[in-house]
Structure 1
Amino acid sequence: MKLVQFWRPNVGYRVGLVRNENVIDITMPDVGLKSTNDFIENAAAGGLTLTEFVDQVLNAQPRAVYAWGELDTSRDLYTPHLALPLVPPEVWAAGVTYQRSAEFRDSETGETIYERAHHKARPEIFFKGTATRCVGPNQPIGIRRDSQFTAPEPELALVIGHRGEMIAYTIANDVSAWDIERENPLYLPQSKIFRGACALGPSIVTPDEIPDPYDVVIHCQIIREGKVIFQESSSTARLKRTFDELLEYLLCDNPVPGASVLCTGTGILVPPEGALREGDIVEIEIPPIGVLRNPVKQWGERAS
């Protein structure tokens, strides 16, 4: 099952079920089902999976239907468009879960802390932000004004249920100011948490849509002035950590709210010459979740 949220002019945000390139409006405000978060919460309260609960709602009444292409467009208050697929109370992220990520960061910093973390039992897990730092499809991701090397980090992300279980997958772009972290690893929060630092979407999909989450191809490209300046693919087959392992450490004496998101790390590393610029377009694709597409925005005047 594949869910999205979208905007309808003069109506507000709606929840949609995606089937065969169509989006079926399953929102039921009169019974408190106004967002994806409401569906997640009500499914948990009823002891149902998200798919089971949506199936019940789908049969309740006739539904409006939209074409996917009609919604997957730039944001405009006067036209329907995709939004964040859910509103995460918290976003967390795991680091150096891929060998290449550890090697790259150590080579950039001249340290060995990332390689050591990669091989230790305890994974690197850090706070990425809240919904106010997140954007959905076709919304701008950001470049900090004090960063010269901001880059995308394409990741498969987990949506966490109210009992701490994984209930869905989505695409995450863990946008990172790498030069700030490279200056000193203690600056990690500043390199990771800022306006437009996390993009999610375009949908969330339930586990049945991805039978083997450790064999998922992730593709990323950066488009500048109509030309592809960077493209690379990776696979979750190269993950060192299991998702259960990451969730176990994240939730250890840490009450993470339901509908929060955990980014699972990246195996795609953009070189310095691919540093993001104002006007770039970043596209991340993970079938069957879709293509997460975001323009890039420079916040303020870049520091020299």
Structure 2
Amino acid sequence: MKLATLSIDGKPCAAVELGNGNWLHLAKAGAGWDSLLATIEGGADAIAALRALVSQAEAGQHADAVVSDPDLLAPIPQPRKNVFCVGRNYAEHIAEGDRAQKQNVGVTEHPVYFTKPPTSIVPPGGDILLFPQVSTCVDYEVELAIVIGKSGRNIAKENAFDHIFGYTIVNDISVRDVQRRHGGQYFKGKGFDGSCPLGPWIVTADAISDPHKLSIGLTVNGAQRQDGSTADMIFDVPTLIASLSEGMTLEPGDIIATGTPSGVGYAMDPPRFLAAGDTVVCTISEIGELSNSVRIA
């Protein structure tokens, strides 16, 4: 199933996609959830209820709750935590970065983590923001994102998938010079307003055949920049969940972006950063497309 947050009369509303491409407004259909986060917190009971509501709607019930061609917000517009992100998780991306920076860091023993604040989140179709008074080195990174559905701390690898509600797409917009000038701490250069396009929806885990066998790519103005596979992740999904949850509770609705393949702008010769007027489209198989424009703030 695909779950989204729609903008209806200026308010966020949780919805589930129907077979004909329309969306069922969950609160109007009597589901009792006023947000997608509340739906995720409902766990297995919510999934069962969603399936029943979809069947009813496709049989002609809840007609007043069916929405066609809605405006989409980020699936979780205001996460309770920062978005967790993983750096340096694809070998070719590490190699291109090391070449561009004339260094040889290589693969790290443990995952590299940083976060992006809620103020960085951008909806599907929204604007990636440029701040030319700060930097013109603004880059892109398409990433598969995990959405946690069940709370846990010190989660064992073999139990990791029990804690996943679904998957979505993140574009980890990065201000490269700022990213690197703070003593190796990525947060500032990754946390600008408008630096986290998210969406377009969440696909429930049962609808993804294998999160480690998805094609993943990105275009700028129609030109292919990134073209890879999640099979190339160094630290796989169970490893990331087990590692991140060590001594720290993961909660329903927490988002983990899992790293990006090669093809980023700063590693090109010469570098090719984003400019006002660009259109950036992230694509992951079995999830869909996340498209955003670029403008000066």
* TM-score above 0.5: yes
Distance 1:126 1:173 in 2: 14
Distance 2:31 2:47 in 1: 18
Per the TM alignment, residue 24 of structure 1 is displaced from its structure 2 partner at its CA by 2.6
Shift in alpha-carbon separation, 1:179–1:21, aligned structure 2, 3 A: farther
C-alpha contact (below 8 Å) 2:150/2:164 kept by paired residues: no
Which of residues 136, 141, 158 in structure 1 aligns to 2:123? 136
Amino acid at match of 2:149: G
1:85 matched residue in structure 2:
75
Amino acid at match of 1:13: P
Per the TM alignment, residue 107 of structure 1 is displaced from its structure 2 partner at its CA by 2.2
Distance 1:161 1:193 in 2: 24
Per the TM alignment, residue 49 of structure 1 is displaced from its structure 2 partner at its CA by 5.5
Distance 1:256 1:96 in 2: 22
Aligned 1:207-222 pairs, distance under 5 A: 207-222=205-220
1:160 aligns with 2:151: no
Per the TM alignment, residue 173 of structure 1 is displaced from its structure 2 partner at its CA by 0.4
1:66 aligns with 2:57: no
Distance 2:19 2:32 in 1: 27
Distance 2:111 2:76 in 1: 26
Gaps of at least 5 residues in structure 1 are: 72-80, 300-304
2:251 matched residue in structure 1:
257
Shift in alpha-carbon separation, 1:250–1:50, aligned structure 2, 3 A: farther
1:289 matched residue in structure 2:
287
Aligned 1:108-187 pairs, distance under 5 A: 108-113=100-105, 115-117=106-108, 120=109, 122-130=110-118, 132-145=119-132, 146-164=134-152, 165-183=163-181, 186-187=184-185
TM-score relative to the length of structure 2? 0.84
1:103 aligns with 2:98: no
Gaps of at least 5 residues in structure 2 are: 153-162
For residues 103-126 of structure 1, the C-alpha deviation after alignment (integer angstroms, 9 at most, x for no partner) is 12222333333x141xx1x21111
2:235 matched residue in structure 1:
241
Amino acid at match of 1:93: C
For residues 153-196 of structure 1, the C-alpha deviation after alignment (integer angstroms, 9 at most, x for no partner) is 00110001232411100011011112223446524111111101
* C-alpha RMSD over aligned residues: 2.2
Amino acid at match of 1:140: D
SS at the partner of 2:281? strand
Amino acid at match of 1:95: G
C-alpha contact (below 8 Å) 2:140/2:265 kept by paired residues: no
Distance 2:147 2:259 in 1: 14
Which range is displaced more, 53-62 or 93-102?
53-62
Amino acid at match of 2:40: I
C-alpha contact (below 8 Å) 1:98/1:267 kept by paired residues: yes
Amino acid at match of 2:75: P
SS at the partner of 1:274? coil
1:20 matched residue in structure 2:
19
C-alpha contact (below 8 Å) 1:108/1:182 kept by paired residues: no
Distance 2:179 2:210 in 1: 33
Amino acid at match of 2:137: F
